Amino acid sequence: MYPFKHLILTILLLSASISAFAQYNPEHFYLRGRRALMDGKYSEAIASFNVLSSIDSSDYEAFFFRGIAKYNLGDYSGAEKDFDVTIAKNPLYTMGYHYRAITRIQNGNYDEALADLATAVSLRPGYSGLYFSRGVVYFMSQQFEKAVSDFDRYIKVEPKDGAAYLNRGASYLFLGDTTQALNNYNQAIKLDKYDAGAYVRRSRIFSLREQFEEAIEDLNTAIRLDSTNTLAYFNRGLMKYDNKDIQGALNDLERVLNDEPGNALTLYNRALIYSQIGDYQKALDDYDRVLNINSENVLAYFNRASVFMELKKYSNAISDYSKAIELFPDFAKAYMNRGYAHNMLGHWSQSQNDYQTAQAKINEYQLNTSTKEGYEAFADTTKT
C-alpha cells in the first residue's frame, strides 16, 4: 500500500511543478501577450506583459509591447514611459525610438518625436517606415517641404501605399501646389478606389479650382462608399450652399449633426445659413448650442448679436458685442456695431465712444497692413 501512496504523491508533485512552470514560463506569457495584441485585446496584453516584466525585468520587449498596448488604449503617457524603459534597456532598439516618436506625435511633442526618428534613422536607415512617420511629423509641424522629401523616400520603397500619396498630396496642398496635390490624390484613388477619405481630399482641390460639379461628385462617391463620413456631408453641405441649394445644404449639415450633435463647427455654419434666410430663432438656438460647447467663441457672440439686431433686441446685442470685445479687444466691427445698438437705444455717449474706438482700431490696422485686402479681412468677420 505504501508504494502506491508514494507514487500518487510523486505524480501530484510533478503535476504541480509542470503547472508552476506554465504559470511562470516567460515564453508562455510572451506568446499570450502577442496574441492578445493581434486580437485587439489590449488590457489582456498588458496583463501578460506585466507578468513577463516581473519575471524578467531585463526583457526590453515586454515593456515595448506593453507600451504598444497602452498606446492603443489611448494611454499615451503610460506608453511613452514604457518606451523610455525599452530604450534604457536596449539603446540600439530602433523600434523603441520609432514608437516613442509616434507616441510623442500624439502628445504634440514634435521636436522630441523628430529627435527620436533621427536616432532611429541613424540606427536603421533602410527601414522605410521611419520616413513615413517622420513625414507625418514634418507635416504636423508645418515643415511641408521636408514632409514631401520624406514621403518621396518612402514611396520609392513602397510605391503602392495609398496613404503615402494622400499625405504627400496634403503637403503639396499646403505648399500651394494644387497640381501636385491632385496628382497624388489621383494616384491614391487609383491604388484604392474604395477609400472614401481620398475622394473627400480630392474634392477639396476641385473646390479650390471652382470645379464644383467634380467636387460634389467626389463627395457623393465618398458618401456612397462610407455613409458615416461626416466630413463628406459637411463639405458637400457648404458647396451646396455656395451653389444656392439652401435646403440641400441644411439637409447635409443636419446629417452631420445626427451623428455628431456636439459638432460646433457644423452648428455654427448652420446658424449662419439660418440667419441669412431669416430663420432667426433657429439661428439663435444653434448659436446657443455653440456657446454651450465653447463659451469663448468670439464669432458666435458676434453673429448672435447680429441676429439680436435683426430682431431689434438691442440690449441683448450689446451684451454679445461686449463679450466679443472682451475676448478680442481689437475687434473693430464689434465696436462699430455695438455703437449702432447704443444709438438705437438712445445711448448717445456710448455710441460715440464705440464709433471712435472702431475708427481708431481700423486706422491702426490700415497703417500696419497698408492694403485694402487687409482692411476688408479685418472689418468683415462674418465669413465662414
Nine cell digits for residue 10: 510523486
Can you tell me the distance from the alpha carbon of 237 to that of 258, in angstroms, rounded to the nearest whole number? Answer: 14
pLDDT value at residue 270: 98
What confidence score (pLDDT) does residue 27 get?
79
Please tell me the predicted confidence (pLDDT) of residue 51: 87
Q: What per-residue confidence (pLDDT) applies to 23?
A: 54
Burial class from Cβ neighbours inside 10 Å (0-12, 13-18, 19+) for residue 122 reads: exposed
What is the C-alpha separation between 200 and 220, in angstroms, rounded?
9
Within its chain, how far is the Cα of 259 from the centroid? 17
Residue 204 is which amino acid? R
- Give the three cell numbers for residue 238: 457648404
Q: What is the pLDDT of residues 204-248, one digit of tens each?
A: 999 999 999 999 999 999 999 999 999 999 999 999 999 999 999
pLDDT at residue number 125? 96
Q: What is the DSSP string of 318-373?
A: HHHHHHHHHH-TT-HHHHHHHHHHHHHTT-HHHHHHHHHHHHHHHHHHHHHH-SHH
Rounded alpha-carbon distances, angstroms, from residue 212 to 184, 233, 235: 20, 15, 11
Which residue, 63, 106, 111, 70, is CA-closest to 84?
Answer: 63
Percent of the chain whose predicted confidence (pLDDT) is above 90: 78
Cβ(294)–Cβ(264) below 8 Å: yes
What is the phi/psi pair of residue 209, to 5°? -90, 5
DSSP conformation class of 245: -
Low-confidence ranges of the chain (pLDDT < 50): 1-22, 372-384
C-alpha distances in angstroms, 305 versus 81, 243, 285, 309? 49, 27, 13, 6
Asked if 219 and 208 touch (Cβ cutoff 8 Å), the reply is no
What was the pLDDT predicted at 56? Answer: 78
Q: How far is CA 173 from CA 162, 166, 210, 239, in A?
A: 16, 10, 15, 19
Question: Looking at the domain 21-127, which fold is it?
Answer: 1.25.40
Position 31 scores a pLDDT of: 83
Domain ranges across the chain: 21-127
- pTM over 0.85? The answer is no
